[in-house]
Amino acid sequence: MTDPTAGMDARGYVVRGNVITMDPRRPRAEAFAVRDGRFAAVGSVEEARAQAGPRARVIELDGGAVVPGLIDTHNHMLATGLQRRVIDLSECQSIADIQRTVREFAERTPEAAWLTSGKGWQIETFPEPRYPTRYELDAACPDRPVYLNRGGHIGVVNSVALARAGIGRDTPDPDGGRIVRDGNGEPTGVLLEPPAFNLVERLVPAPSREERKAALRDIQRAYHAAGLCGVIEPGLTPDDLSIYQELWQSGELSVRTVAMPLAQTDDDPERLLAKLGAWGVRTGFGDSTLKLGGIKVFMDGGASLGTALMREPFPDERCNCGIQVTHTDTFHRIAEFCAVHGWSLGVHAVGGKAIDITLAVFAEVDARHPIRDLRFSIIHAYLWPSEDNIRTARRLGVAVATQPTMQYNFAPILVKRFGPEAFGRATPIRSWLEGGVVVGGGSDSPVNPYPPLLGLWHAVTRHVDEFARVIGPQEAIAPEVALALYTRDAAWLAFSENERGMIRPGMLADWVALSLDPTACAPMAIRDAAVHLTAVGGHLVHRAPGY
Ligand SMILES: [Zn+2]
């Protein structure tokens, strides 16, 4: 088939198939027409043809289903793209594997001044579940600085990197972070949370603008092939934002992006608020391709890392309740600033205590400056939101950005840590929804795999391969509901519900043709659905071979 969408903006085309519109007014249709980048008609083939004109081409789809373009509400797209250009530790099964991977990368890249890693890796399944020491990294690369980052919460460095950063036995722990030390008080090379590893990270030369743009171009192709048409991109620096703007300007930004600027809270709060205030623009600024979302703030760390802020100590570490990354009073000022200045706010909160603090501050701020219209959100809300949390979120109109892929990806580690019953209560999507809270689906790529069909599948099945069983079946949701998390509800979180998330006349023609109907196939088959076609604004951005 030649591309029926090429150069056809004016005349349009018709897609005929099993259309799942996600539009409550008309949930199913047999066809739709696309014109000028938008859905022109949704309904019968005759209705679609009437809008597209008698000579419009018709894309006939056999079987499967067409769904609205999928949206990931928490996806570090730029970082995911860049991760393909650094040391990939995701397959490592031991410290020796890490050493070998670092050594091979060092040999392959003699020109690299620093050796850095992608963030998606873990140690919990190693025979010896610990991070490598500086000395073990020295054995792999003695002469250049090595900086491995895991999940945005842990840094592991060699001796050259420690020396460059001036970290020694007398260096105090920075506020909100920890420099892990051995019995003699010597830093081991492990640095917990950004305030600690930023001492090193700030020395790493950033990838050039051209490298970052190339990374974005590559990753967009991969995303479209997975059915993604949009992301909420959390935690960008102003410089990152300018990369997005350049791609937008040259017409190359094909994954619709809602960008969340990062509030770096290790910065002085007064300076931080002055900086944010100086922007002038706020949430909603932009267009349907690139738009400003809320400010992103970290309240705590991660569950598998032992830095999530818990109500009680981690079961396997009696005196560790995690780390509060942003002080409550700083956070209060940021939240109030957002409420007053028309910014939305998305808060990374994994542990129960982090969720408690976040919602308590939201409630205090809301009493003086209503936040409902700003769609404040909690990102992750993982271990374990209480019934009270759910009621408060509903009352304040606070949404949740959840990641079924995280629940799936971290199960092997966290079932071991918390037991299957407690872990089964994590990512309680059904409880949030039954409590009347809006939930958006996502991945937190590159921490977890980005394919939205994997997330959809897990939300429906709660299946975990490693245990060949279902963990937390009480939180499983119906396929139609799961699909809404990645379409209609995600669009709401992206401040785009009038333009995206449904196949409805007038909305942007973002659509995906799947080989299976996720609402009709066996639930276990959902993740195996192939993405045949993906269109953004009516234009095909992905076509599987043979289509
Ligand atoms: Zn994230």
460-499 residue pLDDT tens: 999 999 898 999 999 999 999 999 999 999 999 999 999 9
Q: What is the pLDDT of residue 280?
A: 86
Q: How far is the CA of 280 from the centre of ligand 1 (A)?
A: 26
Q: For residue 43, what pLDDT is reported? A: 97
- In the reported structure, the alpha carbon of residue 518 is separated from the centroid of ligand 1 by a whole-number distance in angstroms of 27
pLDDT at 8: 45
Q: Tell me how far the alpha carbon of residue 76 lies from the centroid of ligand 1, in angstroms.
A: 6
- 525-546 as b/e, with b when 16 or more CB fall inside 10 Å? ebbebebbbbbbbbbbbbbeee
Lowest mean pLDDT among 118-122, 153-157, 189-193, 389-393: 118-122
Distance CA 547, CA 529 (A): 15
- SS3 of residue 337 by DSSP: helix
**Torsion angle in degrees (nearest 10) through CA of 170, 139, 118, 189:** -10
pLDDT over 60 (residue 5): no
Q: How many CA atoms lie within 13 A of 261 on its CB side?
A: 22
CB 264 within 8 Å of CB 287: no
Å from CA of 185 to ligand 1 middle = 32
Contacts of residue 254, Cβ cutoff 8 Å, sequence gap at least 6: 220, 224, 536, 541
Does pLDDT of 2 surpass 50? no
Taking a C-beta distance cutoff of 8 angstroms, is the pair 303, 410 a contact?
A: yes
**Is 70 exceeded by the pLDDT of residue 11?**
no
Residue 179 has pLDDT above 90, yes or no: yes
Q: Supply the pLDDT for residue 265.
A: 72
C-alpha to C-alpha distance for 545 and 534, rounded to whole angstroms: 13
> How far, in Å, from the CA of 369 to the mean position of ligand 1?
27
| C-alpha 27 – ligand 1 centre gap (Å) | 32
CA of 234 to the centre of ligand 1 (A): 7
33, two tokens: 């027409």
Model confidence pLDDT, tens digit, residues 95-135:
999 999 999 999 988 878 899 998 889 998 899 999 999 99
What is the pLDDT, as a whole number, of residue 3?
A: 53
Distance CA 520, CA 344 (A): 37
Q: How far is the CA of 74 from the centre of ligand 1 (A)?
A: 6
Interval between CA 504 and ligand 1 midpoint (Å)? 31
Confidence of residue 530 (pLDDT cuts 50, 70, 90): very high
The residues placing their C-beta within 5 Å of ligand 1, an ion, are 444
Vertex 503 angle, CA 498 and 507, to 5°: 40
- Report CA(124)–ligand 1 centroid distance (Å): 20
Residue 282 C-alpha to ligand 1 middle, in angstroms?
Answer: 21
Residue for token digits 């802020």? 309
Q: What is the DSSP string of 190-228?
A: EEESHHHHHHHHTTSPPPPHHHHHHHHHHHHHHHHHTTE
Interacting residues of 188 by C-beta distance below 8 A, sequence separation 6+ = 133, 134, 180, 181, 182
The CA distance from 168 to 170, in Å, is 5
CA of 75 to the centre of ligand 1 (A): 7
179 Cα–ligand 1 center, Å: 23
- Token look-up 């020694």 returns 168
Mean pLDDT of 349-355: 96
Question: Can you give the pLDDT at residue 7?
Answer: 47
How many Cβ atoms sit within 10 Å of the Cβ of residue 140? 21
Q: Tell how far the Cα of 297 is from the centroid of ligand 1, in angstroms.
A: 11
Q: Which pLDDT band holds residue 1 (cuts at 50, 70, 90)?
A: very low
Quote the percentage of the chain above a pLDDT of 70.
98
Per-residue pLDDT tens for 411-455?
998 998 899 999 999 999 999 999 999 999 999 999 899 999 999
H helix or E strand, kind and range, residue 411: helix 411-418
What confidence score (pLDDT) does residue 390 get?
98
- Above 70 in pLDDT, residue 10? no
Share the mean pLDDT of the chain. Answer: 93
Q: How far does residue 139's CA lie from ligand 1's centre (Å)?
A: 32
Residues 55-90 have pLDDT tens digits of 899 999 989 999 999 999 999 999 999 887 799 998
pLDDT band at 304 (very low <50, low <70, confident <90, very high): confident
CA of 473 to the centre of ligand 1 (A): 25
8 Å CB contact between 383 and 352:
yes
pLDDT in tens, 33-45: 999 999 999 999 9
CA of 444 from ligand 1 middle (Å) equals 5
